[in-house]
Every structure is written in structure tokens, then in C-alpha cells.
């Protein structure tokens, strides 16, 4: 999905309105799961997977269930460099065979040669940005250090508009990961990317998991109203 052309005037602070209507088009195909979407895009590409460790105690379990994202990206991509600030996790990854991995803080550390010596198609930030205190500064500094060697940034975050959030409102509840700082919508995520100096190209709504076990009613609702899906993705280009 793409924003209507006039929306970019607001994203770039050229225009202002107190009640901007952002059109969300219907998808042309059935919704994808987040993992399928990311691995399909990474196929045959050179990608950096930032935050690759995930939760270290769950790595073996996720490998066994074929849900560890880094393994799936690694298996599909031409090259997948895993980066994480978790030194213990990176060491463990290397011990189990994922040698193309780097313990590195992309913001605080000096630019890494392993990144600068290659041209990358995508920097993948999967379910990461909602944990960052200042996402505009975070993306801006990555752009300044690595924008010349990375073509695009692919971000996925929990969708603030998702159906499960609406259901919980009727129970007077918010259920959230206690480390999250933000709920994102297409416009607010695009605003963060734009303010960080990125050019937003497209966005999508995604499932947490494949729709195999969803009821016919749920599948129909999701196909007609994609903004109710679990996750939001956005592809932006370093400008």
C-alpha cells in the first residue's frame, strides 16, 4: 500500500491539519504472516538483521519450531549479517553455526567495517522500533553512519489499530509488552521515518502467524479491513 501523494506534504511538515484523513486501501492479495513477508523480501538479497538474537533463552525452542526469524532470513537471503548488542547472544549464535554475526551498537559504537565493506539491499528492524526511546534519533544516526551502504530500511512493529486492541478497550484493558514505548499506525510510523531523513515508499498490514487456524469470519474481516491486522510494516529508502 502507498500513501496518497498529498499525505507527503503533511509528513514533511509542509502542511498541517488537525484531523488528517489517511486512506487505507484494500490489499490486492490475502494477508501474509510477518515471517513470510520478511523472508520473501529477503530472498536472494543482502540484508542486515538488527536485533537478530531475539530472546536468547528461546532461540533453541524457536529453531526447533522453525520460527526463529534470523534462521529463516539466513536460509533465504544471499547474505544475512546478524547484529545485536547482546554479546552473549551473538556468541551463542556463532557457536551453533551462524558465524555471520556481530555484537555491535549501531548508535554508540564506531562504524563497523563488516557493514561498510558491503552494499546492502535492506536493513531489517523486526519488532524493534517500539522498544526505542527516541526512534527518530535512532534512525537518523543509522542513516548518518550507514546510509551510503544500505539501500532500504524494512521496519515491522505491532499495529496500534489492530482488532485485538479494540476488543480489549471494551473490557477496559490495555495488554502490552511492558518494554514497549509506542503504538504505531501507518501515519505515525511514516512521520518518524520522514523526520529521520528516510523516504517512505510503502506499508503493509501483516498477521502475527499464518491464517490456517483463523475462522472464516475472521479471515473475511481481515481481508476486507486490513488495518485490523496484527502487525504493520514499512519500507523506506535512505535519502
From CA 130, how far away is CA 54, in angstroms rounded?
Answer: 14
Share of the chain above pLDDT 70, in %: 97
Q: How does pLDDT run across 169-214, given as a tens digit for each residue? A: 999 999 999 999 999 999 999 999 999 999 999 999 999 877 666 7
From CA 137, how far away is CA 114, in angstroms rounded?
Answer: 23
Q: How does pLDDT run across 51-87, given as a tens digit for each residue? A: 999 889 999 999 999 999 999 999 999 999 999 999 9
CB 174, CB 168: distance < 8 Å: yes
Taking the model in full, what pTM does it have? 0.93
The pLDDT of residue 27 is 64
Q: How does pLDDT run across 87-98, given as a tens digit for each residue? A: 999 999 999 999
**Which domains can be identified in the chain, with CATH numbers?**
22-238 (3.40.50.150)
Q: How does pLDDT run across 132-141, given as a tens digit for each residue? A: 999 999 999 9
What cell was used for 210?
499464518
Amino acid at each position: 500500500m502507498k500513501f496518497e501523494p498529498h499525505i507527503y506534504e503533511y509528513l514533511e511538515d509542509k502542511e498541517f491539519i488537525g484531523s488528517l484523513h489517511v486512506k487505507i486501501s484494500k490489499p490486492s492479495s490475502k494477508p501474509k504472516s510477518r515471517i513470510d513477508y520478511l523472508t520473501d523480501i529477503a530472498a536472494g538479497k543482502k540484508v542486515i538483521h538488527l536485533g537478530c538474537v531475539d530472546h536468547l533463552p528461546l532461540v533453541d525452542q524457536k529453531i526447533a519450531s522453525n520460527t526463529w526469524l534470523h534462521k529463516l532470513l539466513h536460509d533465504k537471503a544471499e547474505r544475512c549479517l546478524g547484529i545485536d548488542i547482546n554479546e552473549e547472544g551473538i556468541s551463542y549464535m556463532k557457536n551453533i553455526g551462524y558465524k555471520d554475526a556481530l555484537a555491535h551498537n549501531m548508535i554508540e559504537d564506531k562504524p563497523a567495517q563488516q557493514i561498510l565493506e558491503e552494499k546492502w539491499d535492506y536493513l531489517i528492524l523486526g519488532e524493534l522500533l517500539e522498544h526505542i526511546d527516541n526512534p527518530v534519533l535512532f534512525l537518523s544516526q543509522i542513516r548518518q553512519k550507514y546510509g551510503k551502504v544500505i539501500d532500504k530500511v524494512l521496519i515491522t512493529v505491532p499495529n496500534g489499530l489492530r482488532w485485538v486492541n479494540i476488543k480489549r478497550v471494551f473490557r477496559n484493558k490495555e495488554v502490552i509488552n511492558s518494554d514497549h514505548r509506542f503504538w504505531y499506525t501507518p501515519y505515525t510510523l511514516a512521520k518518524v521515518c520522514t523526520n529521520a531523513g528516510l523516504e517512505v515508499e510503502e506499508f503493509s498490514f501483516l498477521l502475527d502467524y499464518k491464517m490456517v487456524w483463523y475462522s472464516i469470519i475472521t479471515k473475511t474481516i481481515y481481508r476486507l479491513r486490513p488495518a485490523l491486522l496484527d502487525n504493520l510494516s514499512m519500507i523506506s529508502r535512505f535519502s
